A and B are shown apart, each in its own frame.
Chain A
Amino acid sequence: MSTSAVARLPADIHASAKAIAGMQGRTPGEVIAQAWREFVERHGDEFAADFERAAALIRDGDTEGLAAHANRFAAAEADAALEAAGLER
């Protein structure tokens, strides 16, 4: 399986990395690194916008805003964490 299949959203990358790494005999970190490269290459505008938002919040010293920005994938991450724990919603 190619990592490009999951390089749609960063949350997808992380949720799938461990399974893909197991199938490919690589570490999750290697899979995540490759997937991030593909994501940034294919979704450059989206990544640039996220970067600009983060940079502006840091320049403004807006720590609450920066935390909210980091939490933009929190819902998907919570789903992934619940699934990793083997729990049902």
Chain B
Amino acid sequence: MPGANPADCRWGSYLCADWELRVTARCLVEDLGREPDDPFEDLLGQDIIKGFVGKRSTEPTDTRKVEPLTSGRELYTLGYGHRHRGATWHDTQNGVIWLCAYARHESGAPDDAFPYFKQLDAEGRLLPTRDDYGQLIEDRNRRFTDAVVTDAQALLAEAREEPDVEKSGVLADSVEVGVAVEIVETLEETWVAIRAGDLRPGWLDIVLAAFFPDVDIRGWEPTERFPTRALREDELCYRHLRDQTTGPQG
């Protein structure tokens, strides 16, 4: 079982290759005795979190389901050692595996983990809430804004190093873009093709500003062509013209 890498902890998430791991606020407070906004990194010392990262970072399911559940959802038992038990749910639509509940396992005892999980489910308190999703969205937006400017500027520098060649990359591990620069005498034309499906609702203006924060929106022209290849149907493309002798246009 792989150990946790603290570098993969970002606020309330542990980032895996194909999904992220999170703990519901109810589980954090009631089951783990933590604060609802405790960062994931602070949880790494807890036994059930060691099991959560070790097992669910590579495998979303397990050998035993938590069943039957009133909600009808497919939750899996997470075991760590002889006594630690959790209930996890893979939300495939949002790319998250949630640790929904934790309890110590004492077979036959009235506070055994499995009756507790089923009781939470019957009370409608087992699955993540709207507040859990609100925190997930805010964390994702923070991860995006933390890295987008640095990544955009690095890609622009690459494209300027080698004009007429597309340089592609993924901004903030989230938005795939292609950048090409053409130089005509003193004019520098920059083209940015953006995979629209990667954008979240508040991100397009931020992506464009990350490349040229010193111009206003008139400095960007939406365009239907990219200089080095045909645009894909799911790409947005913008062109920016800059006179290198006088600075930004627009």
Contact partners of B236 in chain A: CB under 8 A: 33, 36-37
Contact partners of A36 in chain B: CB under 8 A: 196, 199, 204, 236
Known interface pairs A81-B136, A85-B93. Does A55 touch B233 (Cβ–Cβ under 8 Å)? Answer: no
Chain A residues within 8 Å of chain B by Cβ, number: 48
A55 to B197, Cβ gap below 8 A?
no
Chain B residues within 8 Å of chain A by Cβ, number: 45
Report whether over half of chain A's contact residues are helix, strand or loop; otherwise say mixed: helix
Residue of B nearest to A77 (CB): B137
A74 to B141, Cβ gap below 8 A?
yes
Interchain CA distance A78-B137 in the complex, whole Å: 6
Contact of A51 among B94, B208, B234 (CB under 8 A): B208
Contact of B133 among A27, A66, A70, A81 (CB under 8 A): A81
Interface string of B140-163 (1 = CB under 8 A from A): 011011100100000000000000
B200 to A77, Cβ gap below 8 A?
yes
Interchain nearest-CB distance for A37 vs B (Å): 7
Interchain CA distance A2-B227 in the complex, whole Å: 30
Contact partners of B195 in chain A: CB under 8 A: 29
Contact partners of B94 in chain A: CB under 8 A: 81, 84-85
B201 to A55, Cβ gap below 8 A?
no
A87 to B127, Cβ gap below 8 A?
yes
Interchain CA distance A37-B204 in the complex, whole Å: 11
A32 to B217, Cβ gap below 8 A?
no
Contact partners of B183 in chain A: CB under 8 A: none
Interface string of B218-234 (1 = CB under 8 A from A): 00101000000000011
Interchain CA distance A58-B210 in the complex, whole Å: 7
Contact partners of B93 in chain A: CB under 8 A: 81, 84-86
Interface string of B18-35 (1 = CB under 8 A from A): 000000000000000000
Contact partners of B141 in chain A: CB under 8 A: 67, 70-71, 74
Contact of A30 among B201, B209, B234 (CB under 8 A): B234
Interchain nearest-CB distance for A85 vs B (Å): 5
Interchain CA distance A66-B217 in the complex, whole Å: 17
Most A CB contacts (10 A, CB to CB) among B94, B196, B213 go to: B196
For residue B205, CB closer than 8 A to chain A, the reply is yes
Interface set, chain A 36-87, CB cutoff 8 A to B: 36-37, 40, 47-48, 50-56, 58-59, 63, 66-67, 69-79, 81-82, 84-87
Contact of A63 among B134, B145, B204, B210 (CB under 8 A): B145
Q: A29-B195, A69-B202 are in contact. List 20 more A-B contacts (CB 8 A).
A: A14-B200, A33-B234, A33-B235, A37-B222, A47-B205, A48-B216, A50-B202, A52-B217, A54-B208, A55-B212, A58-B209, A67-B145, A69-B206, A70-B200, A70-B203, A73-B201, A76-B201, A78-B133, A82-B133, A85-B94
Q: Which residues of A contact B (CB under 8 A)?
A: 9-11, 13-14, 17, 26-30, 32-33, 36-37, 40, 47-48, 50-56, 58-59, 63, 66-67, 69-79, 81-82, 84-87, 89
